Amino acid sequence: MSGKKIENWNIVLKVPAVQASLNPAAQELIEKAEKEGVETAWHRYLAQQPQCGFGLLGVCCRNCLLGPCRIDPFGNGPQKGVCGADADTIVARNLLRMIAAGAASHSDHARDIVHVFELVAEGKTKSYSIQDVEKLLTVAKSLGIPTDGRDTLEIARDVAHVLAHEFGKHDEEPLRLIMALAPKRRKEVWQKAGVMPRAIDREVNECMHRTHMGVDADPVNLLLHGARTSLADGWSGSMMATLLSDILFGTPKPIEYVINLGVLKEDYVNIVLHGHNPVLSMKIAEVAMSPEMTELARKYGAKGVNVAGMCCTGNEVLMRLGIPVIGNLLLQELAIITGAVEAMIVDYQCVMPSLATLADCYHTKLITTEPKAKIPGAVYIEFDPANADEIAKKIVTIAIENYPRRNKARVYIPKHKSKAMAGFSVEALLNILGGTLDPLINALKDGTIKGIVAIVGCNNVKVKQDFSHITLTQKLIENDILVVGTGCWAHAAAIHGIFTKEAAEKAGPGLRKVCQALGIPPALHMGSCVDCSRILLVLGALADALGVDIPDLPVAGSAPEPMSEKAVAIGTYFVASGVFVHLGVIPPVLGGKKVTKILTEDIEGILGGKFYVEPDPVKAAETIINVIREKRRKLGWPV
C-alpha cells in the first residue's frame, strides 16, 4: 500500500500528500502535520485499513440483540441473520437508517431556524430581524396565508405556525410546503407511488420503526419509504431552512469572496466558523467585524479580527456577507495545523471530534455552542438566539484574548488563495436572466446550453481531495453543460478557479457565450447543503415552464466525493424528484443484489430517477453527457 511502511510489527503511517489532495495548500499542511507528529483524517484512514468488508457491502446488521449478524458475501458462510433477514433486507434497512439520519440532520437544522424565526415574529429577540420582507410575502402567499394589509410580523407568525406543523402533524395530508412548491406532475407521481410525505419527523420516526427487529423486511417497501423520508427533507425540511434563512439573513445576491487556507492572516486574530447553521455564524461574523472588537484585538497586539468560514456555515455567511472562506470538509483539521487559528467556533454536522485533540496540540480554542453537539476537550458556550449579541461578544472576546498565546514559531499559513463569485439564489438567477427563466429555456432548447448538472456533496478521504469534483465539473462545462451546486463541491470549485468569469473561457462555445453575455461563471454556487432545495425549485420551475416532468429534463445530479448520511438523503430526494444521480463513492449497498438493482435500474420506472455509481470522474462525465443527450433526443431538441 502506498504510504504505508511496515517496520516489524509497528506500522509507520505516512500520507503521500500530493496523492491525497489536489489542493496545494492542503498538501503543504499535510506535510506540516507529519513533521509535527499530529494526525489527520488521512492518517486515521490509513490506520483503519483494511476497512471491514461486511460494512463496505452493507451486510452487517446491528439492529437487535440477537445479533450482530453478518451475511457472507461469498456465499460460503451464513446467508441469513438470526431473525431470518437476508442480505437484501439488511442492506435496505441499513440504507433506510442512513436516509433517516440525513433527513433528520437537515430538518433539525431547519427546526432551529424556525425557532429563531418564531422568536423574531413574536418580538422575543432583538438580535435578529426580518431582512427579506418580499420573500416572506412570497412564501406566505404560496402557503395560502393572507398578506394584504397585514403587519409583517403577523404574517411571519402565521408562516411560523404552518412551518412548525410540518414537523409533527399527525394527519395523513401531504406536507404543506410540498403542495405549495413541488411541480404538479411530480406530486401525482408521488401520490401514485405512495411516497407522498406526511410529516417530517413522522417519516424519520417511521424509518426507525420499520427497521426495528421484525417489522419491515421487504426491500422494495423499505426503499420506497426511504424515498418518502428524503422527499420530506428536500421539499420541506431543507426547503424551509433555506426559505427562512433567506428571510432572516437576506436572499443571496452575486457576491465576490476569497477562498483557501491562505485567507488566514498572520497578524490578525483568526476566527474560523465551522458547522452549518447561519443563526450562530452570521451573528459571530457581525460581532467580530465590529469596531469594538477590532479595538479589543489591537489591545492584544493584533491588527484586527479576521473571520473565515468553513464547510456549510461558511457557505451560509459567504453567500450573504462575502466573508473569506477556508474551504471544505478535509481542510478543517489543516486550519488548526496552520497554528494561526485563535478559535474555531462550531455548531453541528461534519465537525470532526479530532478537532479537540488538535486544538490541544496548538493554541486554538475549539468552542462548541450547541446542547446537542458537544465535544470532549472543547470549550462549551451555549448559544442562545434570544441573547445572541452578548454570547457572540463573549465568544469573540475569548478568541481575541487567546491571541497572545499563539506560538509564532509554529505558524505556517500557505500562500494559496483564489478569488471566487457566489450568491446565485433562485431569485438572483432570475434577476440575471431578466426576471424570467425564458432565456435559459431558450438556450437549452436551441442547444447553446446542452443541459444542467447539479453537483453537491462532501470530501471523502477515499478520493483524492477535490479531484473528482474538479475533473467532473471541467468535463461537463467543456461540453456546454451548465453546472450548479452547493456544499463542499462549491468550495472545491472556488479554490480551483471555476467560480470566476474568466473560467468561462474553459467552457464549450455555447456555454461560454451565455456566461460572457450574463457575466457569470460557468458553474454557479447556490449555497450550503440545505440549499440543494434551491436546485429543486429550479428543476420544478423548468419542468412547469416546459409542460413536462422533471425526468424529461436534460439534467442530472452528482455527488462525486460523498461522505455523510446527509449526502445519502440528498441523493435520494434527487432520485425521487426524477433526477439521474451519480455517486463517486460506492455506498454500502452492493451486498444486496436486489437492492442494488432497484436503486440503479428499477426505481426509474417508479420515480423517474435512479442512481449510477462510478468512482472515475472521467467515465462518470461521459455517462452523464450521454444521459443528457438521450433526454434531449426524447424532447426533440438538437443534441
Partner 1 sequence: MKTEKKLIIANPKLCTGCKSCEIACAVEHSKSKDLYYASLETPSPIQRIRVLLKDSYNMPVRCQHCPDPPCLAVCPTKAIFQTPEGFVLINDSLCAGCGLCVDACPVGAIQMHPELKIAVKCDFCVDRVRAGLLPACVEACPTGALQFGTLDELRSKARASTRTKFEEIISPNTLREMYKTVGWV
Minimum CB–partner distance for residue 474 and partner 1 (Å): 14
Minimum CB–partner distance for residue 485 and partner 1 (Å): 18
Any idea what DSSP says for residue 263? G
Minimum CB–partner distance for residue 495 and partner 1 (Å): 18
Q: Name the residue among 611, 580, 604, 574 with its Cα closest to residue 235.
A: 574
Q: Which residues of 417-430 are buried (b: 16+ CB within 10 A; e: fewer)?
A: bbebbbbbbbbbbe
Using the minimum distance from each CB to partner 1, give the nearer residue, 69 or 155.
69
Instruction: Give the CA count within 13 Å in the CB-facing half-sphere of 116.
Output: 29
Of the candidate spans 134-142, 233-241, 435-443, 609-617, the one that interacts with partner 1 by CB under 8 A turns out to be: 609-617
Backbone angles phi, psi at 10, to 5 degrees: -85, 130
Minimum CB–partner distance for residue 412 and partner 1 (Å): 23
Using the minimum distance from each CB to partner 1, give the nearer residue, 53 or 250.
53
Residues 355, 336 contacting (CB under 8 angstroms): yes
CB-count burial class (<10 Å; 0-12, 13-18, 19+) for 409: exposed
Cell representation of residue 319: 453567500
425 binds partner 1 (CB under 8 A): no
Of the candidate spans 8-16, 93-101, 156-164, 210-218, the one that interacts with partner 1 by CB under 8 A turns out to be: 8-16
Strand, coil or helix: 529 = helix
CB-count burial class (<10 Å; 0-12, 13-18, 19+) for 214: exposed
CB-count burial class (<10 Å; 0-12, 13-18, 19+) for 457: buried
10 binds partner 1 (CB under 8 A): yes
519 binds partner 1 (CB under 8 A): no
Minimum CB–partner distance for residue 138 and partner 1 (Å): 42
Interacting residues with partner 1 between 55 and 74 (CB under 8 A): 55-57, 70, 72-74
Q: How far apart are CA 83 and CA 102, in angstroms?
A: 27
Q: How far apart are CA 27 and CA 16, in angstroms?
A: 9
Helices (H) and strands (E) in the chain, counts: 28, 18
Interacting residues with partner 1 between 11 and 50 (CB under 8 A): 16, 19-20, 45-46, 49-50
Q: Which residues of 501-539 are buried (b: 16+ CB within 10 A; e: fewer)?
A: eebbeebbebbbbbbeebebbbbbbbbbbbbbbbbbbbb
Map residues 334-363 to x or -, x wherever contact with partner 1 holds by CB under 8 A.
------------------------------
Using the minimum distance from each CB to partner 1, give the nearer residue, 44 or 212.
44
Using the minimum distance from each CB to partner 1, give the nearer residue, 70 or 566.
70
Any idea what DSSP says for residue 368? E
328 binds partner 1 (CB under 8 A): no
Q: Which residues of 244-253 are buried (b: 16+ CB within 10 A; e: fewer)?
A: bbbbbbbbbe
Interacting residues with partner 1 between 436 and 475 (CB under 8 A): 462-464, 467-468
586 binds partner 1 (CB under 8 A): yes
Using the minimum distance from each CB to partner 1, give the nearer residue, 4 or 298.
4
Minimum CB–partner distance for residue 616 and partner 1 (Å): 5
Using the minimum distance from each CB to partner 1, give the nearer residue, 57 or 329.
57
Give the 3-state secondary structure percentages of the chain, helix then strand then coil, rounded to 5: 55, 10, 35
Q: Residue from 134, 218, 267, 616 that binds partner 1 (CB under 8 A)? A: 616
Q: Which positions ≥6 away from 160 have C-beta within 8 Å?
A: 114, 117, 118, 121
Residues 485, 424 contacting (CB under 8 angstroms): no
Q: Residue from 47, 52, 133, 639 that binds partner 1 (CB under 8 A)? A: 52
**207 assigned to a ligand binding site:** no
**311 assigned to a ligand binding site:** no
Using the minimum distance from each CB to partner 1, give the nearer residue, 242 or 460.
460
Using the minimum distance from each CB to partner 1, give the nearer residue, 41 or 340.
41
Count residues contacting partner 1 (CB under 8 A)?
43
**361 assigned to a ligand binding site:** no
Using the minimum distance from each CB to partner 1, give the nearer residue, 377 or 615.
615
**312 assigned to a ligand binding site:** yes
Q: How far apart are CA 585 and CA 227, in angstroms?
A: 20
Residues 566, 529 contacting (CB under 8 angstroms): yes
**64 assigned to a ligand binding site:** yes
Using the minimum distance from each CB to partner 1, give the nearer residue, 78 or 84.
78
Using the minimum distance from each CB to partner 1, give the nearer residue, 27 or 294.
27
Using the minimum distance from each CB to partner 1, give the nearer residue, 522 or 617.
617
Q: Residue from 25, 28, 54, 580 that binds partner 1 (CB under 8 A)? A: 54
Minimum CB–partner distance for residue 22 and partner 1 (Å): 10
Residues in the chain: 639
Q: Which positions ≥6 away from 29 have C-beta within 8 Å?
A: 261, 334, 337, 338, 412, 414
Q: Which positions ≥6 away from 218 have C-beta within 8 Å?
A: 89
Q: Which positions ≥6 away from 529 have C-beta within 8 Å?
A: 106, 238, 276, 312, 456, 457, 486, 487, 566, 567, 570
Q: Residue from 35, 37, 65, 76 that binds partner 1 (CB under 8 A)? A: 76
Q: Report how far apart the first and last C-alpha atoms of the chain are (Å, whole number).
A: 44
**515 assigned to a ligand binding site:** no
Q: Residue from 35, 37, 75, 151 that binds partner 1 (CB under 8 A)? A: 75
Binding residues for [Ni-4Fe-4S] cluster: 276, 312, 350, 458, 488, 529
Which residues are documented as binding site? 52, 60-61, 64, 69, 83, 276, 312, 350, 458, 488, 529
Known binding positions for [4Fe-4S] cluster: 52, 60-61, 64, 69, 83
User: Where along the sequence are the contacts to partner 1 (CB under 8 A)?
Assistant: 1-4, 6-10, 16, 19-20, 45-46, 49-57, 70, 72-78, 462-464, 467-468, 584, 586, 590, 615-618
